[in-house]
């Protein structure tokens, strides 16, 4: 599953069978190289975050057991991680030696586990997620090509 | 691995942490003028993560000086205070200075400083706009420096033997610097 494909995907409560929001942003745990939470658009109230553990990423919808799984950001770091600044798509990719590799066109993740698989740099090829070192407002920093 | 580069190439290059945050841009290259070593960079601060006084980056804190960015490990690699003012000169201060041989020949004016970067960063040469003393008058040529030399001052003195090791581009210059230094170490023999 790709970020661009997942963007705007509806999130449905299993309990009420109602749509409770749409995926708007990804919280990426850089150390774990995985999606740890989503921030939703069109959610009612301030609780716009949902943890990966609380969802099931289906082929057509993201299912949560009930709308009470929605929560606010855990801390400032999580709020920042879900902000536009730290969304990887469109961001410069630098390797740790300081050479630019391209820009992130899309991100592939495993819908079963949330693990990030690779960054798609379009014509510049792909970078596997095991090379991820940091994700900041300026760049995605990755290890040099093996 | 060591790489040769011109000081002016580094100016304006973004300084980025391994976490992907931009902390500033290189403003100038700073030398220890008595030892011919590059000490680091002064920075133009950037963004709200950088405090206004943290404006110097020591070479020892640089993880990698890359083509597109200077990589550092942590934001706190930036120094609170400027490097000690004594014996320090910024790259811009030597530009335009006259290079003289120790036998009194004017080789031209400094257009750039050539740095060899590795574990340490050393000044290995000057790029000068060649004077009439050189066959390539008017062109830019690269002049190798001894291992220890004063990089600042109104006049920059180089041994006359440096003339035999002048290069026209960076690709052959590393070898020229080594040969020149080997010759100086060998003395008259």
What mean pLDDT, rounded, does chain B reach? 81
Nearest-by-Cβ selection for B19 from A97, A100, A134: A134
Q: What is the pLDDT of residue B84?
A: 47
Interface probe with A: pick from B69, B70, B74, B75, most Cβ of A within 10 Å: B69
Q: Residue B111: is its pLDDT beyond 60?
A: yes
Residues 72-131 (A) with a CB less than 8 A from some CB of B: 94-100
A31 lies within 8 A of chain B by CB = no
**Cβ contacts (< 8 Å) between B48 and chain A: which residues?**
none
Do the Cβ atoms of B69 and A133 come within 8 Å? no
Tokens coding B24: 């500033």
- Which residue's structure tokens are 């289906």? A58
Q: Are B131 and B108 in contact (CB under 8 A)?
A: yes
ipTM score of the complex? Answer: 0.89
Q: What is the pLDDT of residue A136?
A: 96
Q: How much is the average pLDDT of B116-140?
A: 84
Q: How much is the average pLDDT of A112-116?
A: 97
Please give the residue of chain B at the shortest CA–CA distance from A85: B21
Nearest-by-Cβ selection for B20 from A97, A98, A134: A134
Rounded to whole angstroms, how far apart are CA atoms A117 and A129?
A: 5
Q: How much is the average pLDDT of A107-132?
A: 97
Q: Are A70 and A15 in contact (CB under 8 A)?
A: no
- Which residue's structure tokens are 């990719």? A93
Do the Cβ atoms of A139 and B65 come within 8 Å? no
Q: What is the pLDDT of residue B46?
A: 62
| pLDDT band with cut points at 50, 70 and 90 for residue B89 | low
Residues 8-27 (A) with a CB less than 8 A from some CB of B: none
| pLDDT band with cut points at 50, 70 and 90 for residue A65 | very high
Q: Residue B126: is its pLDDT beyond 80?
A: yes
Q: What is the pLDDT of residue B153?
A: 61
Give the residue numbers in B contacting A (CB under 8 Å), as ranges. Answer: 14, 16-22, 47, 63-71
**Cβ contacts (< 8 Å) between B14 and chain A: which residues?**
138
A141 lies within 8 A of chain B by CB = yes
Alpha-carbon gap: B90 to the closest alpha carbon of chain A (Å): 23
pLDDT cut 90: percent of chain B above it: 23
β-strand A10-13 against A62-64: which pairing, if any?
parallel
Do the Cβ atoms of B21 and A136 come within 8 Å? yes
Nearest-by-Cβ selection for A100 from B22, B68, B70: B68
What's chain B look like in SS3? CCEEEEHHHHCCCEEEECCCCEEEEEEEEEEECCCCEEEEEEEEECCCCCCCCCCEEEHHHEEEECCCCEEECCHHHEECCCCCCCCEEEHHHHCCCEEEECCCCEEEEEEEEEEEECCCEEEEEEEEEECCCCCCCCCEEEEECCCCCCCCCCEEEECHHHHHHCECCHHHHHHHHHHHHHHHHCCCC
Rounded to whole angstroms, how far apart are CA atoms B53 and B72?
A: 18
Please give the residue of chain A at the shortest CA–CA distance from B70: A98
Alpha-carbon gap: B35 to the closest alpha carbon of chain A (Å): 27
| pLDDT band with cut points at 50, 70 and 90 for residue B155 | confident
Alpha-carbon gap: B111 to the closest alpha carbon of chain A (Å): 26
Alpha-carbon gap: A2 to the closest alpha carbon of chain B (Å): 22
* Tens-digit pLDDT profile for residues B29-70: 887 766 777 888 888 876 555 455 457 788 888 999 998 999
């Amino acid at each position: 599953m790709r970020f661009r494909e997942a963007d705007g995907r509806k999130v449905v409560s299993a309990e009420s069978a109602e749509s409770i929001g749409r995926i708007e942003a990804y919280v990426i745990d850089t150390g774990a190289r995985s999606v740890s939470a989503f921030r939703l658009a069109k959610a009612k109230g301030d609780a716009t975050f949902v943890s990966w553990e609380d969802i099931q990423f289906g082929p057509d919808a993201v299912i949560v057991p009930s709308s009470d799984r929605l929560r606010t950001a855990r801390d400032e770091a999580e709020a920042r991680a879900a902000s536009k600044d730290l969304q990887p798509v469109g961001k410069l990719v630098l390797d740790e030696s300081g050479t630019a590799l391209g820009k992130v066109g899309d991100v592939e993740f495993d819908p079963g586990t949330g693990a990030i698989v690779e960054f798609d740099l379009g014509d510049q090829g792909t970078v596997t997620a095991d090379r991820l070192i940091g994700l900041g407002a300026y760049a995605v920093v990755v290890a040099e090509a093996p | 691995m060591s790489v040769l580069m011109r000081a002016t190439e580094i100016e304006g290059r973004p300084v980025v942490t391994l976490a992907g945050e931009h902390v500033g841009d290189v403003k100038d290259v700073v030398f220890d003028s008595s030892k011919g070593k590059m000490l680091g960079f002064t920075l133009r601060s950037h963004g709200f993560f950088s405090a206004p006084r943290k404006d110097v980056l020591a070479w020892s804190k640089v993880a990698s000086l890359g083509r597109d960015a200077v990589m550092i490990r942590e934001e706190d690699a930036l120094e609170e205070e400027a490097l000690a003012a004594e014996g320090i000169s910024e790259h811009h201060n030597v530009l335009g200075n006259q290079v003289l041989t120790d036998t009194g020949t004017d080789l031209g004016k400094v257009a750039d400083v050539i740095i060899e970067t590795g574990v340490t960063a050393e000044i290995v040469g000057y790029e000068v706009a060649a004077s009439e003393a050189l066959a390539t008058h008017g062109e830019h040529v690269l002049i190798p420096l001894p291992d220890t030399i004063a990089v600042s001052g109104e006049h920059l003195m180089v041994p006359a033997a440096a003339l035999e090791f002048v290069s026209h581009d960076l690709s052959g210059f590393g070898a020229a610097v080594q040969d020149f230094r080997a010759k100086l170490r060998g003395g008259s023999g």
